[in-house]
Amino acid sequence: MKILQEYTTDELENELLRRANEKKKEKLPQRVREAYPADKYGIWQIYGEDPNADFGGYHHEPLLGTVEGTYQQACDFAATLNSFYTWGTGGRLVLIEATKL
């Protein structure tokens, strides 16, 4: 690994972003990590954490996106999204199951 002085500005920004994303992945709550098997493949909707954590006022979990892949891949991606964490417990992922007609 390079020491910070050896990075160009763009490399430094990318490295700091990579490190921040790794930290977010590490703190992914156990309830999210264990909701589905890591290798379960599917289409996942990613919801952000409710930004209003108290009991009053309007509550919502913003839909941050829909992705296809394994649950582990979806979790790793979700952890990097800005609104996935607002108060610290993280949002949630939902498996989309379509019925063929």
> pLDDT in tens for each of the 101 residues of the chain?
555 567 677 776 777 667 766 766 666 777 788 889 989 999 999 999 887 777 676 778 899 999 999 998 998 888 888 888 877 778 899 999 988 88
| Cβ pair 84, 49 in contact under 8 A | yes
Using CA atoms, how far residue 62 sits from 1, 57, 66, 82, in Å, is: 37, 16, 12, 11
Work out whether strand 41-47 and strand 92-96 pair parallel, antiparallel, or are unpaired: antiparallel
- Name the nearest CA neighbour of 67 among 47, 87, 50, 90: 47
**Could you tell me the pTM of the whole model?**
0.71
